[in-house]
Structure 1
Amino acid sequence: MPAYVVVDVGVVEEEAGWAYAPVAQRSILDHGGRYLVAGPTPEPVEGTWDSQRLVVIEFPDMDRVRQWYDSPEYRRARRIREGKAQLRMLFVEGAPPEGFAPPAG
């Protein structure tokens, strides 16, 4: 089942962003990931969002997400942005092919 990485990017030191992006992107592609959303300035329609950029990346499964995140390539990318970017990241399982069903109860 597909798994997703959702990243909410806040403040980024521009120079670090330019150095981080190609290293991170190569690591994602090398681990079977693909960008679904990578747009600047999300448009909030409900609630409060304090994000400069929202990124959603799809991987074949959760094991691949974890392999990517712990890989030497992505550890290198994380070191590049360390202390120079504020972001929040989630790993999320995809919905089964039959769609979302609310919990029984």
Structure 2
Amino acid sequence: MSAYVVIDLDIHDPDGFQRYADAVLPLMREAGGRNLVVDQAPVVLEGDWRPSTLVIHEFPDRAAAQAFWDAPAYQPLKALRRKHSCVRVVVGAPG
């Protein structure tokens, strides 16, 4: 069953973050993931959550999402992402 990674993304350095984005997409695809949403103007319907950019990735299941997150090849990219942005990340699956 699919799992969804939901990201509240605040980019501090767009050029630096683009290097991360260019490198991470092939790794995510190799893990079976894909982008569903990248919205730089999400609409808050209720509550105090105010994401600058909302990103949603889909993976085949929670194990695939976790394997991607923990993959050795992704670790240096996490450091690059942290250097150029701030994120809050959760993963969830139906059921």
Please report the TM-score for the alignment, with normalisation by the length of structure 2: 0.87
CA shift, 1:82, in A, is 2.4
The corresponding residue for 2:37 is: 37
The number of equivalent residue pairs is 95
* Amino acid in the other structure paired with 2:39: G
Q: Between the two proteins, what is the percent identity of the paired residues?
A: 29
Work out which of the two has the higher radius of gyration on C-alpha atoms and give 1 or 2.
1
> Which runs of 5 or more structure 2 residues have no equivalent in the other structure?
none
The equivalent of 2:2 in structure 1 is 2
Aligned partner letter, 2:53: R
The runs of 5 or more residues in structure 1 that have no matched partner are 96-105
Name the CA distance, whole Å, in 2 between partners of 1:80 and 1:38.
19
The Cα offsets for residues 23-72 of structure 1, whole Å up to 9 and x where unpaired, read as 11111111001111112121122223322111111111111111101112
2:74 aligns with 74
Hey, what does 1:101 align to over in structure 2?
none
Correspondence for 1:65: 65
Alpha-carbon distance in structure 2 between the residues aligned to 1:26 and 1:94? 25
Q: Distance in 1 between matches of 2:58 and 2:82?
A: 23
Whether 1:55 and 2:72 are equivalent positions in the alignment is no
Q: Is the 8 A contact 2:13 2:84 kept in 1?
A: yes
Compute the displacement of 1:94 (Å): 2.2
More helix by share: 2
